[in-house]
Amino acid sequence: MLAIRLSKILTVAAIALFATLVAFGNITDYGSNFEFVRHVLMMDTIFPDSTIKYRAIESPALHHAAYIAIIATEALTAILCWIGAWKLWSVRYATAALFNNSKGYAIGGLTVGFLLWQVGFMSIGGEWFGMWMSDTWNGIESAFRFFITILAVLIYVTLRDGDVD
């Protein structure tokens, strides 16, 4: 059905828009959002008696490197999803085989986004750097919302499509 194809295209475009806005916000408000990354890496707001503080990264250069890597990954997510949405849009009336074979960029972008927010923020930030212990610099809930939404779109998009009626 064409409606399902259009739905998949629009959900990929929605994630592309989201990732674009997040990357744009992090670039244009670098200082504010950099503070988040800096505090998570320094582990200066986790429980005072935590025994994992040895994991803290104190180097400002590494803080900037991590933040730039995050922004680059957000931008990559956006770019791949925009290309993916465009590729799917361009074959929306094509055969099922061509439509299904055109999902690569969308799947790639959604996967990169999932990995950023699940691995980067939940696993590394949340667990390794103990972000969950911070009342001030805790992005666990936001990261969870982001990667679950992206995962839902990824699952939906990867479902095989049939021919347009």
pLDDT, residue 3, reads 95
Asked if residue 140 lies in contact with residue 122, where contact means CB atoms within 8 angstroms, the answer is: yes
How far is Cα 88 from Cα 19, in angstroms, rounded to an integer? 18
Which pair of tokens denotes residue 25? 């916000």
Which pair of tokens denotes residue 158? 């990867």
pLDDT, residue 76, reads 98
pLDDT, residue 28, reads 97
pLDDT, residue 9, reads 98
Q: In the chain, which stretches have pLDDT less than 50?
A: none
pLDDT, residue 164, reads 84
